[in-house]
Structure 1
Amino acid sequence: MYSEVDIRRLTWQSRRGMLELDLLFVPFVQDAFRDLPEEDKDRFVKLLACEDQDLFLWLMEREIPVDPDLHKIVRIILDRVQPS
């Protein structure tokens, strides 16, 4: 279970310094994180531990994460900003 303090910390950690990542992560934490199932919240926390270069490639759909957990949360983030 993630508290409001945890969510504020995650919002801060979502500020990566790379505009493309900031524009995806910060709104995602503020608007969607609370409604995720716990396992997807854990996946997002795991995603934040990755290197910015990898995150950029995955979120710009130039590569796919090998880890299925990371692939799932990347898809959730992208589906949120690229609805079909």
Structure 2
Amino acid sequence: MDRNRMFWASRRGMLELDLVLLPFLENVYESLEQEDKERYWALLDSEDQDLFAWFLKRTDPEDPELLKIVKIIRDNTGMQID
């Protein structure tokens, strides 16, 4: 996916998600393995409410592939909420 398209797709309707996804995109995304980049692309198709719940560990995605990228984002964006 083109970097500009990914940037705009990472901008969400919730400021809280922008504060998680945009720094992740800027600081971590480029260092990901290709499979994890593809998981991130798939994650962008998720609903904002689901993303918010996943990042705050209220729930986890049922899809194990999405769970992998959610954990990477949690571990790299200060979302280590216990």
Q: TM-score, normalised by structure 1?
A: 0.87
* % identical equivalent positions: 50
1:48 aligned onto 2:44: yes
Supply the RMSD in Å over aligned alpha carbons. Answer: 1.6
Higher relative contact order (CA 8 A, sep 6+): 2
Q: Which of 4, 7, 11 in structure 1 is aligned with 2:7?
A: 11
CA distance in 2, matches of 1:8, 1:29: 11
Q: Which of 56, 64, 68 in structure 2 is aligned with 1:68?
A: 64
Name stretches of at least 5 consecutive residues in structure 2 with no aligned partner. Answer: none
Name stretches of at least 5 consecutive residues in structure 1 with no aligned partner. Answer: none
Which aligned segments of 4 or more residues in structure 1 are displaced greater than 4 angstroms? none
Contact preservation (8 Å) 2:7, 2:25: yes
CA distance in 2, matches of 1:82, 1:65: 19
Q: TM-score, normalised by structure 2?
A: 0.89
Alpha-carbon deviation of 1:20? Answer: 1.0
CA distance in 2, matches of 1:9, 1:58: 23
Number of aligned residues: 80
Alpha-carbon deviation of 1:79? Answer: 0.3
Alpha-carbon deviation of 1:17? Answer: 2.0
| Deviation readout 1:21-79 (Å, 9 max, x if unpaired) | 00010111111111100000000000000111111110111001110011000000000
